Amino acid sequence: SVCPTDDRHVAVLAFPYGTHTAPLVNLVRRAAAEAPQVTFSFFSTKRSNASVFATLNAETLDNIKPYDVEDGLPDNYVPSGNPQDPVEYFVKAMPANYRTAMDEAVSQTGRHITCLVSDAFLWFCADMADEMHAKWVPLWTAGPHTLLAHIAAHEIREKLGPHGVREDREVDFLAGFSGIKASSLPEGLTTEPEDPFSYMLDKMGDALPRATAVAINSFTEVHIPIVQHLQTRLHLVLNIGPFILTMPQSVTPDDEGCLPWLNKQKEGSVVYISFGSVIIPPQDELVALAEALEEGKYPFIWAFRGNPEKELPQGFLERTKTQGKVVGWAPQMQILRHQAVGVCMTHGGWNSLLDCIVGGVPLISRPFFGDQTLNTATIEHVWEIGVGIENGVFTKESTLKVLESIMSTEKGKMMLQKIVELKDSAIAAAGPEGESTKNYCTFSDIITASSYE
């Protein structure tokens, strides 16, 4: 049969909340630059596209074109302050909102869609791919252990039974989960899903085994038994990360001079604090954390969401002017790679965890929702590269205790050693002969293959 070289049209479906779009964009930047003949249509909300393409336009990648997807917000929508609200509206508008935009892309380009690359959350791509006779390669933007938990959701509910969480049973029936307690699982997993978000994750767990391949922003050594087990449940598992080493990155400018300030600090002495892009911890915990930093005299950089003047103790900013820096959005990756940083206080988000691994910085984790509790348990009990905060909340005493333990005990040194080992395997995986590099080639071959192949 005739095989035209330019029939390839990859539809990229982003999930425009939290740190979901950025990794997908970075992946597609690389794929599109390496395959200039292939058309990439990028589907996200108007707002997300505007910020993504502000960076991309500078690179003049002519073969990626944005299409706006309706965000599902009512016309008279007034933000309630709960960051989950817009997500729920969006999830309710799916998949019709994507479909409309995809029809437009097909008619504008005159090309049928040959492959769907989507955020793994977008379960309906399994049906779309069938209908279109296209491939589907979802990207899972969190850790392999959470992915397995969602794929095994039905078994987990059945085996734990209705009292599994209350009795805090061990999840010892699932490969790679020994030592993990039921209470560490993502909240929607242990009960039947009720809200749209948990429902979406359940559908995802059922749909992913139908995907051509599942790409993960991770590397195999992070959790070998889990990856091996995932391979028995999915057609093809492609660890192609950590993206900070394998994909082009947008650089956050160091407007507030964090890096020059770090140059003046002692090796391994600085505490870096950030709770990601969604969470703001309750004010009493922010206060406890500030008091602990001040009393322990730890040099610090705090990437603060919200208003520090209002939320931190009176006079804190003035008194700690030379001890530390409270900044807005920080160049986190560069900070964590600086030798002056000794520990990272985090919410346990997957991207921050990868930043810490690549930086070789042990963690103190205070999880809030979703995969963060499971990440924290894994940090503490599986990788032994950090600890969760006592009773799950910051108090001045528990924060001082945990800082002391990481910064100045043998246990802390062991954690550092273990995270440096993980860092070395991440670098090897992303190297020229590494597994993530090889898997990326497979990914690229799959998505850019002609529909006639």
Instruction: Give the footprint of ligand U2F on this chain (CB under 6 A).
Output: 18-20, 141-142, 252, 274, 276-279, 303, 329-330, 332-333, 349-352, 355, 370-372
State the minimum distance, in angstroms, from the CB of residue 3 to ligand U2F: 38
Max CA distance (Å), the chain: 75
The answer to whether 214 and 138 are in contact (CB under 8 A) is yes
**CB nearer ligand U2F, residue 134 or residue 422:** 422
**CB nearer ligand U2F, residue 355 or residue 435:** 355
Per the listing, tokens 């509206």 go with 89
The upper half-sphere exposure of residue 246, i.e. CA atoms within 13 Å in the direction of its Cβ, equals 33
Closest CA to 341 of 401, 299, 293, 404: 299
User: What is the arrangement of strands in the sheet containing 270-273, beginning at the earlier edge strand?
Assistant: 324-327, 300-303, 270-273, 341-346, 363-365, 386-388
431 residue type, one letter: G
State the minimum distance, in angstroms, from the CB of residue 83 to ligand U2F: 10
Give me the helices (H) in 3-152, please: 21-34, 46-56, 84-93, 96-109, 125-132, 144-151
Q: What is the DSSP string of 176-189?
A: T-TT-BGGGS-GGG
**CB nearer ligand U2F, residue 105 or residue 238:** 238
The answer to whether 118 and 138 are in contact (CB under 8 A) is yes
**Cis peptide bond upstream of 95, omega within 30:** yes
State the minimum distance, in angstroms, from the CB of residue 133 to ligand U2F: 30
How far apart CA 371 and CA 145 sit, in angstroms, is 9
For residue 22 the two structure tokens come to 């950025």
The upper half-sphere exposure of residue 396, i.e. CA atoms within 13 Å in the direction of its Cβ, equals 12
98 residue type, one letter: Y
Closest CA to 374 of 225, 182, 224: 182
State the minimum distance, in angstroms, from the CB of residue 114 to ligand U2F: 27
State the minimum distance, in angstroms, from the CB of residue 60 to ligand U2F: 25
Active site residue 75: no
How far apart CA 367 and CA 443 sit, in angstroms, is 32
**CB nearer ligand U2F, residue 114 or residue 436:** 436
State the minimum distance, in angstroms, from the CB of residue 143 to ligand U2F: 7
How far apart CA 115 and CA 212 sit, in angstroms, is 10
The answer to whether 292 and 399 are in contact (CB under 8 A) is yes
How far apart CA 164 and CA 194 sit, in angstroms, is 18
**CB nearer ligand U2F, residue 105 or residue 394:** 394
State the minimum distance, in angstroms, from the CB of residue 45 to ligand U2F: 16
**CB nearer ligand U2F, residue 89 or residue 329:** 329
**CB nearer ligand U2F, residue 279 or residue 377:** 279
Active site residue 255: no
Catalytic residue among 9, 68, 71, 119: 119
**CB nearer ligand U2F, residue 8 or residue 324:** 324
The answer to whether 405 and 387 are in contact (CB under 8 A) is yes
State the minimum distance, in angstroms, from the CB of residue 281 to ligand U2F: 12
The conformation of residue 395, written as its DSSP 8-state character, comes to: -
Give me the helices (H) in 217-371, please: 224-233, 243-246, 258-263, 283-296, 308-311, 316-319, 332-336, 350-359
Catalytic residue among 20, 145, 223, 338: 20
- Could you give the residue numbers annotated as active site? 20, 119
